[in-house]
Amino acid sequence: MISDKCNLCSNNIFSSYLNSDKMLRCDSCQVIFLAPEQIPHDLNNYYQNNVFYAENASKPDLVRGMVRAANFYLKIIAKQIKNPAGKLLVDVGSNYGILMEEAERVGFQTIGLEKNNILVKKGRRRGLNISTDNLTELKTLRPIDIITAMHVLEHLPDPRSFIKDAYKKLAIGGILVIGVPNVESHLARKDGLSWRYMAIEHLFYFSEKTLRSLLEAEGFEIIEIRKDGSNLEEQGIKKLLRYLVGQPILRDRFQVKSHEGRQPLLVSQTNWLKNIFKRLIIIIIKVLQREDFILITSRKKD
Ligand SMILES: [Zn+2]
């Protein structure tokens, strides 16, 4: 929120979300957002220099998860772009370029946009074209064929202008793929303000409905909306079981995390029985459509 109007629908009547003094919901379009006075002032600096994001990129478990997610996104993209050879893909929030590398493998040309200095350097060392520009500043020789923005939109103070920029930069018929945490997912409803994706750096909380109406209002045609459980594999059995049974958790999510003293992910000594059990839980979560994220594919209309 950069004004006293709803970023999505320009209405100016809001209610508290789940009785929180930190979260608001637009009475008209229902989008949920962090109250403006809660937004940290130094977010740019936070993203540019945050070591946590950079450290994650060197944890083998998490990298494997990101590669798996990238290939899941590419499968969705392949339904729309049959022949990627030479097509230009811009990944916003590219990290050090995991999706870019996988996309180049199937023939895309790629540009990544990333704010974190350490990740930019790391990606460039791998020979990738990563820029620190915002989408609006990015100069390309031709219109972009596909823009991906995975877990970006919820961090932006002005999601609507990002969607407008994407529209301007895309070729006619170009594809926009957006992934966000789903505030109407099973755990989001169960855990409420303690949901793991509630965070002071998440300024907006989208649902299928709010994301769809934002895109449609800005000239996109929705092609596919699907649940995305690409974070499930990286979780242990105990956490996965919470998607099926158990009490809501309670904790204060609204502090900028220092991530200091955070335990590294345990690479558990999995045995085959545990693995089968874990696979089974993930299958059930997916059958019940309880995944945390939504992925929405849309096309720029003429
Ligand atoms: Zn609204």
pLDDT (average), residues 145-151: 97
Task: With cut-offs at 50, 70 and 90, classify the pLDDT of residue 252.
Answer: confident
Spacing, Cα 28 to ligand 1 middle (Å): 5
Spacing, Cα 137 to ligand 1 middle (Å): 27
> CB of 170 within 8 A of CB of 218?
no
Spacing, Cα 72 to ligand 1 middle (Å): 31
pLDDT of amino acid 41: 82
Spacing, Cα 5 to ligand 1 middle (Å): 8
- Candidates 183, 159, 179, 181; CA nearest to 7 is 159
The whole-chain average pLDDT of the chain stands at 91
255 DSSP 8-state letter:
S
Spacing, Cα 32 to ligand 1 middle (Å): 9
Spacing, Cα 15 to ligand 1 middle (Å): 11
Give the chain's largest Cα–Cα span. Answer: 55
Spacing, Cα 154 to ligand 1 middle (Å): 15
Structure tokens, 159: 């999601």
pLDDT digits (tens, 9 = 90+) for 116-127: 999 999 999 999
Strand order in the sheet with 14-16: 14-16, 23-26, 32-34, 204-205
Helix (H), strand (E) counts: the chain: 10, 11
pLDDT digits (tens, 9 = 90+) for 31-44: 999 998 888 888 88
Structure tokens, 49: 């220099």
Structure tokens, 286: 């997916």
**Integer CA distances (angstroms), 170 to 145, 161, 222, 297, in order:** 6, 14, 15, 14
Task: With cut-offs at 50, 70 and 90, classify the pLDDT of residue 238.
Answer: very high
pLDDT of amino acid 71: 96
pLDDT at 2 over 80: no
Spacing, Cα 9 to ligand 1 middle (Å): 4
> Does 43-256+267-300 carry CATH code 3.30.230.70?
no
pLDDT digits (tens, 9 = 90+) for 39-76: 888 888 888 888 877 788 888 888 888 999 999 999 99
**Integer CA distances (angstroms), 114 to 105, 209, 257, in order:** 20, 28, 20
Q: Domain spans of the chain?
A: 43-256+267-300
Spacing, Cα 29 to ligand 1 middle (Å): 4
pLDDT digits (tens, 9 = 90+) for 128-138: 999 999 999 99
Tell me the pTM: 0.91
Spacing, Cα 208 to ligand 1 middle (Å): 14
pLDDT of amino acid 253: 74
pLDDT of amino acid 259: 52
pLDDT (average), residues 264-274: 66
